[in-house]
Every structure is written in structure tokens, then in C-alpha cells.
Amino acid sequence: MAETIGFIGLGNMGTPMATRLAEAGHGLVVHDTRDNVIGPFLEKGAARAGSAEDVASRAETVLVSLPTPDIVEKVVLGEGGISGGSMVKTVVDLSTTGPRVGAAIAAKLKERGITFVDCPVSGGVGGAKAGTLAVMVSCPRPTYDRLEPMLKNIGKVFFIGEAPGSAQMMKLCNNLMSASAMAIAAEAITAGVKAGIDPAVMVDVINVSSGMNTATTQKFPKSILNRRFDYGFSTGLMFKDVRLCLEEAEGMGLDLETAKAVRSIWQKMNDQFGPESDFTRIVEMVERPAGVTVGKPG
């Protein structure tokens, strides 16, 4: 049997990733603040841990998939956190946390002989279920070589470099583009609908044209044209990613004008629809003042 691993954070992404790891033969010790997400894992033979520290006292390798940098920091370094565990040697952060937090956590864990691995993923809930995520890793090379066979179960694994935080920066650059694509596709397709064009026809045309992007190939067909708005990624997380990317860019003295406009759109979306809303609802924010509806239920 493959190594028993700890998994903390069984949300939209964590559940399918942990499920794939269990299916690949890994024993799991799981923890989440929400009880209802633990049950299905216990039924399949996973062990429940009472805290993050407990997980880290029962597994050498602990994976986390958590919403925000402050929660990751708390779960890793806080009271009852992973760093207090007696067995843990490696912490793999699958969350999008930004380079600075990752680097700071890595430095603190190093003092305790624990290696922190930046391992953000891209590809959404669908990619997590199918095992086709992009898995971006930065950590010492020997650690990468040891983890790669396990990580291959969740997607295509890329070694970004040894510098702490570099995989997080890679991920933020990707998500800035994804957030921009979603926002501009919502605006362009709403404009086309206002001019009388069928949005399904627009998506078909765009997807063989130069405007094609992941909003038009994935989000519109799966969750927007049918008005389900159930893609599985929250507005709060999208806003966080854009904000973190711009903070990094600004920290390096860069002035990214398009990115600033995209941040203000996602800020507005976060304010109007709330951080828990599915991020595909940005179409509703754009279409309402336009007085049109993009797509129809079904």
C-alpha cells in the first residue's frame, strides 16, 4: 500500500483530489472544520483526525487545500496546527496562497526540520475529478522527486523551481489571465446579446476564433449558457487571486493597468454578489444593467 498521507481541507477541490489519492492506494488521515465533508471519506476507510496537529502526528506527508493565505498560515503554524505534529516531515500546500505567505511559512517550518512545498493547482473541480489538473511545484528538488509519483494522481506535474513561492507566483499569473478572460467574455458576450446575437452561436464562433479562452470553452458552455452558475469556484477566491497577484506585481514596482481594471471588476462582483457566489455569476452583474439575459435555463 502507498504511503498514508494527511489531508486537510475537503472542499470543492480537496474532496476530489483526496478521493483520487485514496483510489490510488494511499491511506488517508483527514480533517476539515465541516463535519459533513468528512463522512464520505470515513465510509471509504479514511481515519478522522481531531485537529491539524493530530493529522501531523499521524502522517509524514500532510496535504492542505484551504481557502485563503491567513487560514493556511493558521492551520500550519497556529495553535493546534500542523507544525506541532510529531510525525510530519513535509507539508504540501495545494491552495492558492501567494508567494509571500508560502515563503514565510517555509522559513518557519524549516527551523523545525519540516519542508514546505508550494503546490498550487489549476483546472477547476472538473480537472480535480478527472486527475487532469496542472500541478505547479516549488520546493527542494529531492523533495519534488519523492512527491512526483503521488502528485501524478491528481494531474500533470510541473517543477517550477526551488525558490519558495515561485509555484505560487506561476499560479497567480495564470489566474490573473483566467479572471481577465472571465470578465471580458462576460462583457463581450453581453454586448453581442444586446445587439441581438444568440449567445450560444457567439460561443461556438469564438471557440474557433481568436477570442477563444477558458471562459468561452469551459465556463459559458458548462455553467452560464444553461444559467446553472454552478462551476464550483467562488467569487471570493477569484478576487483573492487577482488581489494577491497585483500585490506581488506592485511589490516588484510593476504597474499593470489591465490587471487593475480586472481587480476592480472582481471587487465589485465580490461586493454585489458576495464572496460565496459562484464566480460565473459575473455574467449576471454585467447583463442586469444591460437589460438582457445571456442564455436560458436547461
Task: Quote the CA–CA distance of 78 and 76 in Å, as a whole number.
Answer: 6
Least separation in angstroms between CB 292 and ligand NAD: 27
Residue 181 binding ligand NAD, by CB under 6 A: no
Residue 172 binding ligand NAD, by CB under 6 A: no
When binding is defined by CB under 6 A, the residue of 6, 9, 164, 192 that contacts ligand NAD is: 9
When binding is defined by CB under 6 A, the residue of 28, 66, 114, 262 that contacts ligand NAD is: 66
Q: Please give the single-letter amino acid code of residue 245.
A: C
Residues in 235-274 that interact with ligand NAD by CB under 6 A: 237
E strand map for the chain? 2-8, 26-31, 47-48, 61-64, 90-93, 115-118, 121-122, 133-138, 155-161
Residue 14 binding ligand NAD, by CB under 6 A: yes
Interface mask toward ligand NAD for 79-118; x: CB under 6 A = ----------------xx----------------------
Task: Quote the CA–CA distance of 230 and 224 in Å, as a whole number.
Answer: 8
Residue 6 binding ligand NAD, by CB under 6 A: no
| Of 44, 89, 152, 171, catalytic | 171
Task: Quote the CA–CA distance of 262 and 239 in Å, as a whole number.
Answer: 9
Q: What angle do CA 190, 193, 197 make, to 5 degrees?
A: 145
* Contact between 231 and 210 (Cβ < 8 Å): no
Residue 75 binding ligand NAD, by CB under 6 A: yes
C-alpha cell at 196: 441581438
Residue 121 binding ligand NAD, by CB under 6 A: yes
Task: Quote the CA–CA distance of 37 and 12 in Å, as a whole number.
Answer: 10
Does 44 qualify as catalytic in the annotation?
Answer: no
Task: Quote the CA–CA distance of 79 and 60 in Å, as a whole number.
Answer: 19
Q: What angle do CA 199, 263, 184 make, to 5 degrees?
A: 20
Least separation in angstroms between CB 96 and ligand NAD: 4
Least separation in angstroms between CB 253 and ligand NAD: 26
| Long-range CB contacts (within 8 A, 24+) of 70-78 | 72/97, 72/101, 72/105, 73/101, 73/104, 73/105, 75/8, 75/9, 76/52, 76/105, 76/109, 76/116, 77/105, 77/108, 77/109
Q: Please identify, using beta-carbon distances, which residue of 238 and 285 lies nearer to ligand NAD.
A: 238
* Contact between 203 and 216 (Cβ < 8 Å): yes
Q: Please identify, using beta-carbon distances, which residue of 93 and 192 lies nearer to ligand NAD.
A: 93
Residues in 31-60 that interact with ligand NAD by CB under 6 A: 31-34, 37
How many residues interact with ligand NAD (rule CB under 6 A)? 26
Q: Please identify, using beta-carbon distances, which residue of 79 and 257 lies nearer to ligand NAD.
A: 79
Q: Please identify, using beta-carbon distances, which residue of 237 and 283 lies nearer to ligand NAD.
A: 237
| Active site members | 171
Contacting residues toward ligand NAD, per CB under 6 A: 8-14, 31-34, 37, 65-67, 71, 75, 95-96, 121-122, 124-125, 232-233, 237
